Amino acid sequence: MSTTQHSAGLAGPELDEDYRDLVGTVRELADEVVAPVSASLDARHEFPYEIVRQMGEMGLFGLPFPEEYGGMGGDYFALALALEELGRVNQSVAITLEAGVSLGAMPVYRFGTEEQKGAWLPDLVTARALAGFGLTEPNGGSDAGGTQTTATLADGTWTVNGAKEFITNSGTDITRLVTVTAVTGVNEARRGPDGSPGKEISTLLVPSGTPGFTVGGAYDKMGWNSSDTHPLFFDGVEVPEANLLGERGRGYANFLSILDEGRIAIAALSTGAAQGCVDESIAYAKTRTAFGQAIGKNQAVSFKIARMQARAHSARLAYYEAAAKMLAGKPFKTEAAIAKLVAGEAAMDNARDATQVFGGYGFMNESLVARHYRDSKILEIGEGTTEVQLMLIARSLGL
């Protein structure tokens, strides 16, 4: 990897020509198509269907998938670069792409049968359809033992009962299925503190519109207002035995591996948000005057922005390294956790500081930094909280 220039003018690790071309293409989409409509979409809590369609036609949803399934034959790092550029200007659009790929299509690609891949991937990798991943429940997310959704198998049919919450891309007009983790039996190899056997958790593909599968109303969220997020309910939902995704009993373990990859993607999105706050602050500090000079002439402002850039730069280096290890086939769990931790905190800290640089204007919702301030908190929560990342890092240190 080599150096590419970011909009703030500082160099990061170098990219080869294909990656640079991709960054340029997505940056143009972000600046010319996404940014101009972002405030309006956010204010109306409107899902960006037209932008999703354009991203699908550009191949962004298919970046890390083979051409045989309709993908672009690229890799996960290419997806991360696209997410960084989109995250600069609109986190809702970026998370729609991230979840559509890493949580929607990737489980089918990683663990599906050839029949499942052939049935679902061509539409998912072109954004003609979206998929959600139903993991989190009121009492279970990071804690697999809290999973209460069940699936029982009888006469070649799975019957699913339970509920999921906070599921991205689960209620759009183009959502075609949700992958659901459910308790399918007991796991004698894993026992609780009281000696009782653990839960066998498997993963099932549940198509939208299946009788008994209900999508609840959209959440009224603090941020990510243009992203689609719903609770899901399963009341006697029946799907064929062939809808088991991957090996029975490996559902949660498989999803943890998906989360490791997804943390790199979220780190890239977070880096974009952090960089977007830097870019906005530089432009404002050069044009906003107070006491006869641009506010950027004041060290209190310029040093604040310098520290913001250091955070964005560090976050970028962290996710680049995690992606490099992943693509090289080396263990990357710890590096992904570090990248998620560093980048999520960089986005939140930079959003706070950018709002301070903008003063009253930073408190107005039409301001990009205000949207980043509202949006960035979830980057310290979703796909593994800050505390989960710290736990993973501590374990890698033998603690």
Residue numbers annotated as active site: 383
DSSP strand pairing (229-240 vs 213-215): antiparallel
Tokens linked to 241: 């035995």
Q: How many CB atoms lie within 10 A of CB 187?
A: 16
- The helix/strand/coil state of 131 is strand
For residue 206, give the H/E element and its range: strand 197-207
Tokens linked to 195: 């000696």
Q: How far apart, in whole angstroms, are the C-alpha atoms of residue 355 and residue 297?
A: 18
Tokens linked to 386: 């800050």
Q: How far apart, in whole angstroms, are the C-alpha atoms of residue 262 and residue 383?
A: 7
Closest CA to 12 of 274, 259, 244: 274
Cβ–Cβ < 8 Å for 167, 99? no
Q: How far apart, in whole angstroms, are the C-alpha atoms of residue 143 and residue 162?
A: 16
CB environment 123-150: b (16+ within 10 A), e (fewer): bbbbbbbbbbbbbbbeebbeebeebebb
Tokens linked to 202: 């498997």
The DSSP line for 156-198 is TEEEEEEEEEEEETSSSTTEEEEEEEEEEEEEEEEE-TTS-EE
DSSP state letter for 219:
P
DSSP state letter for 202:
E
Tokens linked to 271: 């880096």
Q: How far apart, in whole angstroms, are the C-alpha atoms of residue 161 and residue 181?
A: 11
Q: How far apart, in whole angstroms, are the C-alpha atoms of residue 52 and residue 59?
A: 11
